Amino acid sequence: MRKNDITKFVLASTSSLYAGQKMPFLETLPVNEPISPYAASKKAEEAMAYTYHYFYDFDVSILRYFTVYGPAGRPDMSPLCFIKWIDEGTPITLYGDGTQSRDFTHVDDIARGTSSAL
């Protein structure tokens, strides 16, 4: 980026950094205790992005995606599993006590948001 005079950087991070935190989540939440290797790797990426912002004044935007779904989605993700199970008439597997919730974001919204961040 420095060699080519590119100063804008958009990082695709993850909502997994919020795991174990009280809701509602705030953008200012420190999220310094990731509870999975995946979340830890994303936190490390965010720290590196901040370092480049600090030293080289890059304009950094970090987007924490929440469970992306849509065409060409991963077949192991719950929206596609739910559709498959409903189509087959298979009972939906429920984990936990049923009071939990999860946010899902359509890939088109992710694409628009990422483009806007650029």
Residues 57 and 73 in one domain: no
Which domain does 42 fall in, by range? 1-65
Give the pLDDT score at 116. Answer: 96
Give the pLDDT score at 8. Answer: 94
d(CA 11, CA 61): 6
Q: How many domains does the chain divide into?
A: 2
Residue of 107, 22, 21 lying closest to 65 (CA atoms): 107
pTM for the whole structure: 0.81
Give the pLDDT score at 59. Answer: 96
The answer to whether residue 99 is domain-embedded is yes
Give the pLDDT score at 67. Answer: 87
Residues 60 and 93 in one domain: no
What are the 10-residue block averages of pLDDT along the chain, 118 residues in total?
92 92 85 93 96 95 92 85 91 82 89 95
Task: Please tell me which residue in 18, 38, 52, 69 is annotated as part of the active site.
Answer: 38
Residues 57 and 80 in one domain: no
38 carries an active-site annotation: yes
The answer to whether residue 117 is domain-embedded is no
The CA dihedral of 107, 109, 112, 113, to the nearest 10 degrees, is -110
Give the pLDDT score at 102. Answer: 78
Give the pLDDT score at 28. Answer: 86
